[in-house]
Structure 1
């Protein structure tokens, strides 16, 4: 591997592309695509696999940060695909607006997050991609394609894995700004999760459960993020007790980089993420996998993971469990189903983690498991065909918009678009 272009955020992948360019306009993108044969878009480098690598050209979206345009009438904002969620959030807050949800990290780019189906948390809140009302992309031919919600190809073009073109602008749904109060509870018995999963994940606007699986009978923390209209934080959460100070999801780590807790209200952008924009949440010494299952299978899937706790715990930093609502986006982990995300932050021991993943994935197969596109997983196209019913439609769309397969790399050949 070469390190000429550097690595992804984690450092577990060195980009193999021959060159990288950072266009600042749609015209610049069109120029770069002229006569190109192998191209991929590169965002903030937060993917843990090879989805954002190319045999030749990487187009960084970092300069595609056009000034946000707010439509009060439509309740939308149109932005450049390269802007980070945290930066957009600050501009929206200043104008009295908000996004309905954010991921745990505000440091990720909008284009990269929606292309991979990244999500936040909340029983009634869908993924970040579901907030997309419009998308503009430059095809390999140089044509600029604009799609709006309701257009025939729209649901296939949002969570696109970068397979259709270079996304340059995105239009997102917004709503009036709101405050969030965040509280943490500790030591929730696994038996309580089995018996009360829906009540626990429905106890706030956004809920995250964290555990190291070192004690398979107890989940270490539950983070509740409540809007003003929610009921007050409970004094006891099915046996879990309130934390006495701010907590980091990882045991023994200072919470100084985390968003404020202890029930202190604050703007949505300072509470919905787990980590603050002005701090780097970790030094990248980690790997990540995430597996998405239909909500109806949540408890059984957790039991399957718990049965492997003895093998998981030695390689794990923390596991997070989050819910999100169904959408209509073809390659979304929540396509046509309310979903639960089982997220694993691993130690940076890639050979050992990769050796374990087939066993973990096999244990989740009975629950129609879908891997997060930007994380480490082993499932191939044959396995993914069984859980993404619109995958044939996506292949037809990709063949129509990118007939020369300019945007297809080895990752897409293995998982979605076999030759």
Structure 2
């Protein structure tokens, strides 16, 4: 802290995102240690954006003014047993929150593949796990506490008509300080990995467990690995299952990388937060030498969409490290990629070469265009704003709500101006 009580510029806030492909444009960076300090900072700033764990791959968190990290705010995981909820600090990471919930006998319905991501950042971008009946992480939110453009601290819940827009709000409504999440009783999960799944078994495999991921390198027509996360009372799969063979050692999704950084496999039971993510919180999942894209399509178009991508398989394979398919249940959040449709997500982890990846991303988007793809807001994509707008029936409502909440555009940036034009 400086003598005048203001946050020291550049205090503990990195200049780049996790992958290193984006250098932020902010002229000042801050890490306040109290909500009052944050309120003063927001009120005094002309342009400001919040940054989480930096796992975005585009300029969604960027700003030409002040960049603020909220992980220095007081740590809170406050459980309300009567309501079945937990109020948690925005800057906490899911791995931290999950362990504390489990100790008290509670769980979240699902988790993303990385437990290293911040709660507020994941919610704001509709980051998700997998499961035909599981919504994205934002669907657990029942209230949001945030600092508005005037520096006021407000709490918004489902009684407010703007709530479906604010939850997956892309940082456009203010700086989130805490979120209240709906809980379920803690549960145990067994994780099984099978190798060599034929393409024709895709739909049955995706519906076969609580959470399922299919991985492909696009060097063949089938799937290299199937990761099945099933509740403990479900019957274990046989060694030979749907034409695939059980792995006999722990695996990593990316071929050639060691499996010891991944969550427990081989059917060994463990608590939900140690099985639903792919990676253990105590390990860095990778060095950041990658780019990522993800597209969300209507679930019923899965077979057609993959057949369309077969036409550019020879272009995808040389620049993809791994591609993951997951399912996500529909929700009612205006800017969620799962808004009102059950979804198949196709996630690409690319090599860290933007020049080589960009034309392949364009080819993938051209092939997926007939299926009305909705890109992940925090990853690499180039879909035209008009096409994105056409895919979101409530986008105009979301834009109107952001303008009403922030008439001067304090929380806006170039990416929001492009895809949520005022």
What SS class does the counterpart of residue 142 from structure 1 fall into? coil
Which of 203, 208, 212 aligns to 1:207? It is 212
Work out the CA distance in 1 between the residues paired with 2:59 and 2:14: 14
Aligned to 2:7: none
Kindly report which structure 2 residues correspond to 1:58-97, keeping only aligned pairs within 5 A, or say none. Answer: 58-97=67-106
What are the Cα deviations for residues 86-132 of structure 1, in whole angstroms up to 9, with x where unaligned?
00011111111111110000000000000011000000000000010
Kindly report which structure 2 residues correspond to 1:33-182, keeping only aligned pairs within 5 A, or say none. Answer: 33-182=42-191
The runs of at least 4 aligned residues of structure 1 exceeding 3 Å deviation read none
Aligned-residue offset at 1:294: 1.1
Which of 336, 339, 357 aligns to 1:353? It is 357
What SS class does the counterpart of residue 334 from structure 1 fall into? coil
Work out the CA distance in 2 between the residues paired with 1:119 and 1:234: 28
Which of 378, 383, 391 aligns to 2:395? It is 391
Work out the CA distance in 2 between the residues paired with 1:273 and 1:126: 15
Aligned to 1:314: 318
Figure out how many residues of one structure are paired with residues of the other and give that number: 411
Work out the CA distance in 2 between the residues paired with 1:306 and 1:258: 29
Work out the CA distance in 2 between the residues paired with 1:369 and 1:190: 21
Aligned to 1:303: 307
Work out the CA distance in 1 between the residues paired with 2:72 and 2:241: 45
2:389/2:419 contact within 8 Å kept? no
| Alignment TM-score, normalising by the size of structure 2 | 0.95
What's the Cα RMSD here?
A: 1.4
1:135/1:148 contact within 8 Å kept? yes
Structure 1 gaps, min length 5: none
Work out the CA distance in 1 between the residues paired with 2:375 and 2:234: 31
Work out the CA distance in 1 between the residues paired with 2:307 and 2:109: 31
Kindly report which structure 2 residues correspond to 1:207-286, keeping only aligned pairs within 5 A, or say none. Answer: 207-215=212-220, 217-286=221-290
What SS class does the counterpart of residue 34 from structure 1 fall into? helix
Which of 189, 198, 203 aligns to 2:198? It is 189
Work out the CA distance in 2 between the residues paired with 1:173 and 1:349: 40
Instruction: Decide whether aligned partners of structure 1 residues 337 and 150 sit closer, same or farther in structure 2, where only a CA change above 3 A counts.
Output: farther
Structure 2 gaps, min length 5: 1-9
1:138/1:168 contact within 8 Å kept? yes
Aligned-residue offset at 1:191: 3.0
Work out the CA distance in 2 between the residues paired with 1:225 and 1:414: 38
What SS class does the counterpart of residue 229 from structure 2 fall into? strand
What are the Cα deviations for residues 233-260 of structure 1, in whole angstroms up to 9, with x where unaligned?
2433310111111111011111010001
2:34/2:74 contact within 8 Å kept? no
Work out the CA distance in 2 between the residues paired with 1:404 and 1:272: 41
Aligned to 2:5: none
Aligned-residue offset at 1:150: 4.1
